[in-house]
Structure 1
């Protein structure tokens, strides 16, 4: 019995497709900016989770929105401190919202 040889491309694992950062950013911003959904604590939690990875990767808008969310909505000091750090990073990068939010917090 003769076996066919399998090509290398068929046996190698396909490259991982990473979801674009912008998609999760857009969904999170839509959730937070929606008048009815943006007030729900569960929606804010979901939006924060969607913003977390882009903020870690250095996306300034994600750092700004997640920092604002953490400073305003989180009940413990550790999360507020992390939020302020994110706002500082975004403010250093030139984000106006982050600069204004930091001005309100530090005054």
Structure 2
């Protein structure tokens, strides 16, 4: 059986299609703001998972929401400290919600 070889005109690597960061942030915000879902531990866990990568990449809204979630919902000191660091980053970038949350924590 004979196979055709790939010609030089065709690029060897296909472009990677990635989901926009904004979509995961918006879904996470919807989960956290939904009156019926916001009390669910599973919804909070999923929202945290969706916010983690955009927060690492510097999306201010993701840093703010993940920081709030970690400060309010996590039981151990390490996670609360990470949450406060995320809130500080978002507050430095001008996020009002993060600035208010930091004011409540540090008072």
TM-score (ref. length: structure 1)? 0.92
In structure 1, the gaps of 5 or more residues are: none
Equivalent residue, structure 2, for 1:79: 79
Runs of 4+ in 1 over 6 A off after TM superposition: none
Aligned residue pairs: how many?
A: 105
| CA spacing shift, 1:3–1:23, aligned 2, 3 Å | closer
Residue 100 of structure 1 aligns to a residue whose secondary structure is: helix
| CA spacing shift, 1:71–1:14, aligned 2, 3 Å | same
What whole-Å deviation, never above 9, does each CA across 1:68-103 have from its counterpart, x for those lacking one? 000000000000000000000000010000000000
Aligned-residue offset at 1:5: 4.5
Equivalent residue, structure 1, for 2:58: 58
| CA spacing shift, 1:54–1:4, aligned 2, 3 Å | closer
Write 1 or 2 for the structure with the bigger share of helix: 1
| CA spacing shift, 1:6–1:32, aligned 2, 3 Å | same
What whole-Å deviation, never above 9, does each CA across 1:14-62 have from its counterpart, x for those lacking one? 1111110011011000111000011101110000000001000000000
